[in-house]
Amino acid sequence: MSEQAPARAEEVTPESELVANRETHGDALKMFAIGAIASVVGVAFALIINWFPARAAKEADHIDTLWDVLLIASVPVFVLVEVVVLYCVVRFRMRPGEELKDGPPIHGNTSLEIVWTAIPAILLVGLCTYAYVVLTNVEKAQANTMNIRVMGQQFTWTFFYNRDGKEVASPQLYVPIGQPVKFRVQSRDVLHDFWVPGFRMKIDAVPGIDTSIRVTPNRIGTYPVVCAELCGLGHATMRQTAHVVSRQDFNAWLQKLGRPAPAAAGGGGAAPDGKTLFTDNGCGGCHTLADAGTSGTTGPDLGKVLKGKDKAFIHESIAKPDAQVEKGYQPGIMPPDFDQKLSPAQLNALVDYLSKVTQ
């Protein structure tokens, strides 16, 4: 019994163990060097790439910085792991004739284990703390906040503004520059997600509850509003436009919202312009109409399907879109409430316009 144990130990000569140790050390150094170079290159690439559209809100600055910090922290980790894996696959691969050979015995290394547990833990706690600080910062309530209610439905957004104590609806989003805005987000039917990529902020619209985000737009321009939650066949068309405008332009726009254009000569309100109604209500997002210069393909080409149709048909197609659905299209895609969103005069003006330009 006592004779066998030393005999075994002699099979591994101290000489070869020393060589193996030296090689492992060299391997680790090489991996570290390759990993460090690859990390620098990786971080440089990650920072050069333009990941996001133009920033249009104060919150976007904080969020983009957070993104950069996350890249700087996570790219080296990824690169390091990949380098070790690839290096080991190449360096320690089985060569011909080694099929029956076993690798050297591996023992635990307590200090190494402490290091590789502590570093990720510190990294994670640090990043979480930073992200938490950014989140509280962008969600902080601010003085003089303007409230806008956002209603999502298949497949459009409606924005409700407070004007002289009354709510007025708009199919387009207008916000004054520099104005802290709180969006109260709701849904009429299924889950949607209110997102203006330029603002970076994004929140689900959940039937039955209110969710909210805060944004302070800081760059004049127009930015897409998109739905970021798969909500049905028309999900991809659930796009509108956010207009960040000057305070003056905003006030002028809000005063006009939902009101007929002032009459030319003291009359009781001129007929609303059909073409404006068509574009303002986002009809062109789904429909092609040559006169309005739109090319949507989710719904039928109006120049074709309305040709030769009377006004009653056009009226019904808007008010009750599923009454007669064009062949090749599905019911339930077009919002069924345009007759409530538009006043009777507006609806008639839209019908007149469509009738005129499609005959």
Question: For binding to ligand CUA (CB under 6 A), which residues are involved?
Answer: 152, 155, 192, 227, 229-231, 235, 238
Phi, psi (degrees; rounded to nearest 5) at 158:
-125, 140
Least Cβ distance, residue 217 to ligand CUA (angstroms): 22
Complex with ligand CUA: residue 151 or 349, whichever CB lies closer: 151
Burial of 227 (0-12, 13-18, 19+ CB in 10 A): buried
Least Cβ distance, residue 238 to ligand CUA (angstroms): 4
Least Cβ distance, residue 230 to ligand CUA (angstroms): 6
Complex with ligand CUA: residue 157 or 199, whichever CB lies closer: 157
Complex with ligand CUA: residue 118 or 230, whichever CB lies closer: 230
Complex with ligand CUA: residue 35 or 335, whichever CB lies closer: 335
Q: How far is CA 126 from CA 32, 36, 47, 69, 123, in A?
A: 23, 21, 20, 11, 5
Partners of 116 in the β-ladder: none
Work out the number of other CB atoms within 10 angstroms of the CB of residue 18: 10
Strand-strand pairing, 156-163 and 202-205: unpaired
Least Cβ distance, residue 63 to ligand CUA (angstroms): 22
Contact of 157 with 191, CB cutoff 8 Å? no
Q: Which of 246, 239, 200 is nearest to 220 (CA)?
A: 246
Q: Which two tokens stand for residue 225?
A: 């509003």
Complex with ligand CUA: residue 39 or 156, whichever CB lies closer: 156
Least Cβ distance, residue 210 to ligand CUA (angstroms): 17
Least Cβ distance, residue 101 to ligand CUA (angstroms): 58
Phi, psi (degrees; rounded to nearest 5) at 294:
-105, 160
Least Cβ distance, residue 229 to ligand CUA (angstroms): 5
Least Cβ distance, residue 330 to ligand CUA (angstroms): 16
Complex with ligand CUA: residue 175 or 227, whichever CB lies closer: 227
Complex with ligand CUA: residue 62 or 239, whichever CB lies closer: 239
Complex with ligand CUA: residue 148 or 231, whichever CB lies closer: 231
